[in-house]
Amino acid sequence: MLTSKSTAGAAVSSALRAVLALVLAAAVLLGGFGLLLHSRIDALRRGSAFHFDYTVTSPSAQPSATWSLLEALGATTGTLSGQNSGSDLTLSWYAPGREEPYTQLILADGQVYLDVRQIYRTFLSGLHAQYPAIASLIPDWGLGDYITGSQMATLLGQEPAMNGLEQYQSGAFALAALEPAHPDQALDGYFYFTLKEPLGGIGITVGFPPSSLWSALWGDFFRCHVLVDIPSQGLRLELTGKALPGEYAIQAPASVMRDEDIAALAELIQTVRSIADFVKQLVQ
């Protein structure tokens, strides 16, 4: 039983770390928009809606488990959209051709919530497409949709970086913490800045064209290009998109998992993995 729980914990850890690493990078970026541009476009710091196209690559000679999971989800490229209301944030990640996000994150009232039910559903839809007979064997989801930052810490066996997300929004991109950058992937006509010290081991470089400064002043979209290095996961993330100042109300999700259900979540993931392995052996 101990071995089963350990294996389940490792499986869940790999899945959540993949999503957390990407979501954290995007959230840190969004939190820095207003500070990066200082007081000239303070509206972006108070609130904005945004949309990015993203691409994830693995420069490692041996791809990590995180990269393998993203491939399984069909999520090495896709789109990221959401809203920011200053201290609160919502993010939705979409794989190509999907109308529903493969996960969502909400930061509300200083608490982080990640939609693990949607990750589960996305992963299962891929299994169903490959092995139609597996559908009748998969357990139904009977847990809350979202998991909190403290529950993530319990599941992963350590404190995830996501728990400090609200701190990044208030000061991580202060002008004194930035320096000019000249990345190899720079777009023509863009100015780039990077953090002097990586945040939680994540290197972030942000570029924008000078025209975006003026367009944002008039309530138009602010365009930017973002490069993220996540060495611990063997991943590089590139985002290109835009943000529009506005006022938005962000609320905590209604369906949140109970603390006593964390062990049940780990067992559910392990059950699905066991069924998938069994079916794969039958068809080989």
Cα(27)–Cα(202) distance, integer angstroms: 12
Half-sphere exposure of 118 (CA within 13 A, CB side): 20
Q: Provide mean pLDDT across the span 176-180.
A: 75
pLDDT band at 143 (very low <50, low <70, confident <90, very high): very high
The predicted pLDDT at position 8 comes to 41
Name residues whose C-beta falls within 8 Å of residue 206's C-beta, 6 or more positions apart in sequence: 29, 32, 36, 192, 193, 194, 224, 225, 226
Please give the pLDDT value at position 54.
94
Exposure on the CB side of residue 29, measured as CA atoms within 13 A = 36
Query: Out of 4-8, 115-119, 128-132, which region has the weakest mean confidence (pLDDT)?
Result: 4-8
User: Is pLDDT above 50 for 39?
Assistant: no
d(CA 146, CA 119): 10
Consecutive H or E run containing 266:
helix 262-283
Q: How far apart are CA 214 and CA 208, in angstroms?
A: 12
C-alpha 264/C-alpha 270 separation (Å) is 10
- Per-residue pLDDT at 219: 52
Model confidence at 231: pLDDT above 90: no
What is the predicted pLDDT for the residue at 77?
A: 94
- pLDDT tens by residue, 249-268: 899 999 999 999 988 888 88
Residue 38 confidence (pLDDT) above 50: no
Q: Average the pLDDT over each of 21-30, 41-50, 57-66, 106-115 and give the range with the smallest value.
A: 21-30
Per-residue confidence at 239, pLDDT binned at 50, 70, 90?
very high
Identify the band that residue 182 occupies on the pLDDT scale cut at 50, 70 and 90: very high
**To the nearest whole number, what is the mean pLDDT of the chain?**
75
pLDDT confidence of residue 167: 46
pLDDT at 195 over 90: no
* pLDDT for 135 beyond 70: no
pTM, full prediction: 0.72
pLDDT of residue 164: 46
Among the listed ranges 36-40, 159-163, 221-225, 278-282, which one has the minimum average pLDDT value?
Answer: 36-40
**Average pLDDT value for residue range 12-35:** 53
More confident residue, 74 or 86: 74
pLDDT of residue 200 exceeding 80, the answer is no
